[in-house]
């Protein structure tokens, strides 16, 4: 054996300083990557949400095509005066035969909503109950309560979308009266009028349709106020389904609107349990309120 082969091999270990430097570099890289991963997750959820609203928008058009151009009842109750079914039922027939005592309140709520959609007028055109839920809508993490929730973070909610009230063809009610658009052919700017909107109501499942109280005239609509809440589950964005069948997302610009749309405090929305009309909510959001008003369809803004 030579002297060279007998030579001991020595290994130099990391010093504490070197180890801390490596850990710091890893932490910096993680801090750079996590926001990107979070943004990618939001983008993926928004894509799934846009797909849901596109399916609903397409089904909405197909229903009108099969019903002499008449827009579907966009509420959630049966229109007894005109014998028209809604796009979904808030209280579906025979639901007590479907639910059982072993189900949690949250499961009962979800099953009721899905069964109401199956019995409604759009299911045959978009036969997928999962189109009702946006994956970024975190209200499914809440506990279900009986009646309207009164404390933050609010009630369990599965349904993420509501129909715009002005396109409420077969639904009775004093909210819009003769200004509601009855037939699809009366809609002159279909690509610029939304049918479906994300609604963040922390009290319970969305009932009826999504409302906004228009004031003034186009293109300014000065004085317009919200009655129902929008949503901002995709960063500072929200998704919309439009009357020509396309769907996309919209970026909110006004901080008060974003805060309002994100809030899960049930107290920010007026109660309707006594049957009285909702009181409008004034938001200092000139850009976002103008967008919502300009693209909200009625016979005065078709």
Please count the other Cβ atoms lying within 10 Å of the Cβ belonging to residue 264. 19
Q: In this predicted structure, what is the pLDDT of residue 272? A: 53
The C-alpha atoms of residue 210 and residue 91 are separated, in whole angstroms, by: 18
The C-alpha atoms of residue 283 and residue 264 are separated, in whole angstroms, by: 16
Between residues 61 and 82, the one the model is more confident about? 61
Q: In this predicted structure, what is the pLDDT of residue 119? A: 94
What is the number of residues in the chain?
302
pLDDT in tens, 155-184: 999 999 999 988 887 655 555 566 889 899
| Closest C-alpha among 213, 115, 100, 105 to residue 156 | 105
Please count the other Cβ atoms lying within 10 Å of the Cβ belonging to residue 268. 16
| Closest C-alpha among 242, 141, 137 to residue 198 | 137
Average pLDDT over all residues of the chain: 85
Contact 151, 136 (CB under 8 A): no
pLDDT in tens, 54-76: 999 999 999 999 999 999 988 88
DSSP 124-184: TTS--GGGG--TT-GGGGSPP-SSS--STT-------EEEBTTS-TT---TTTGGGS--BG
Residue 165 token pair: 């009230």
pTM of the model: 0.83
The C-alpha atoms of residue 142 and residue 149 are separated, in whole angstroms, by: 10
Q: In this predicted structure, what is the pLDDT of residue 296? A: 93
% of the chain residues with pLDDT over 70: 85
pLDDT for residue 14 is more than 50? yes
Average pLDDT over residues 142-156: 87
The C-alpha atoms of residue 143 and residue 148 are separated, in whole angstroms, by: 12
pLDDT for residue 102 is more than 60? yes
pLDDT for residue 27 is more than 60? yes
The C-alpha atoms of residue 296 and residue 152 are separated, in whole angstroms, by: 30
% of the chain residues with pLDDT over 90: 52
Helix (H) or strand (E) holding 238: strand 237-242
Query: What value, to the nearest 5°, has the Cα angle with vertex 251 and ends 244 and 249?
Result: 35
Q: In this predicted structure, what is the pLDDT of residue 216? A: 78
The C-alpha atoms of residue 218 and residue 297 are separated, in whole angstroms, by: 11
Average pLDDT over residues 105-118: 95
Q: In this predicted structure, what is the pLDDT of residue 275? A: 44
The residues pairing with 251 across neighbouring beta strands, listed in sequence order, are 237
- DSSP state, 210? B
Q: In this predicted structure, what is the pLDDT of residue 274? A: 45
């Amino acid at each position: 054996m030579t002297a060279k082969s007998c030579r001991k091999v020595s290994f130099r270990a990391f010093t504490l300083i070197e180890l801390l430097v490596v850990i710091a570099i890893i932490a910096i890289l993680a801090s750079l990557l996590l926001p990107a991963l979070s943004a990618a997750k939001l983008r993926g959820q928004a894509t799934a949400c846009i797909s849901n609203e596109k399916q609903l928008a397409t089904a909405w058009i197909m229903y009108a095509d099969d019903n002499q151009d008449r827009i579907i009842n966009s509420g959630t109750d049966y229109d007894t005066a005109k014998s028209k079914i809604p796009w979904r039922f808030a209280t579906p027939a025979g639901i007590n035969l479907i639910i059982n005592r072993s189900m949690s309140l949250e499961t009962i709520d979800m099953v009721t909503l899905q069964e109401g959609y199956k019995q409604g007028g759009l299911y045959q055109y978009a036969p997928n109950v999962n189109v009702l839920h946006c994956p970024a809508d975190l209200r499914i993490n809440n506990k279900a309560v009986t009646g309207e929730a009164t404390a933050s973070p609010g009630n369990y909610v599965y349904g993420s979308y509501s129909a715009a009230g002005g396109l409420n063809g077969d639904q009775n009610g004093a909210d819009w009266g003769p200004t509601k658009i009855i037939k699809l052919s009366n809609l002159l700017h279909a690509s610029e009028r939304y049918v479906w909107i994300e609604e963040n109501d922390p009290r319970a499942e969305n009932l009826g349709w999504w409302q906004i109280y228009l004031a003034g005239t186009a293109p300014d609509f000065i004085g317009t106020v919200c009655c129902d809440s929008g949503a901002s589950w995709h960063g500072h964005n929200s998704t919309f389904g439009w009357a020509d069948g396309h769907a996309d997302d919209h970026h909110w610009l006004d901080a008060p609107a974003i805060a309002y749309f994100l809030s899960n405090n049930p107290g920010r929305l007026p109660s309707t349990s006594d049957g009285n009309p909702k009181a409008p909510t004034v938001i200092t959001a000139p850009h976002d309120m103008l967008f919502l008003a300009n693209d909200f369809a009625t016979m005065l803004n078709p």
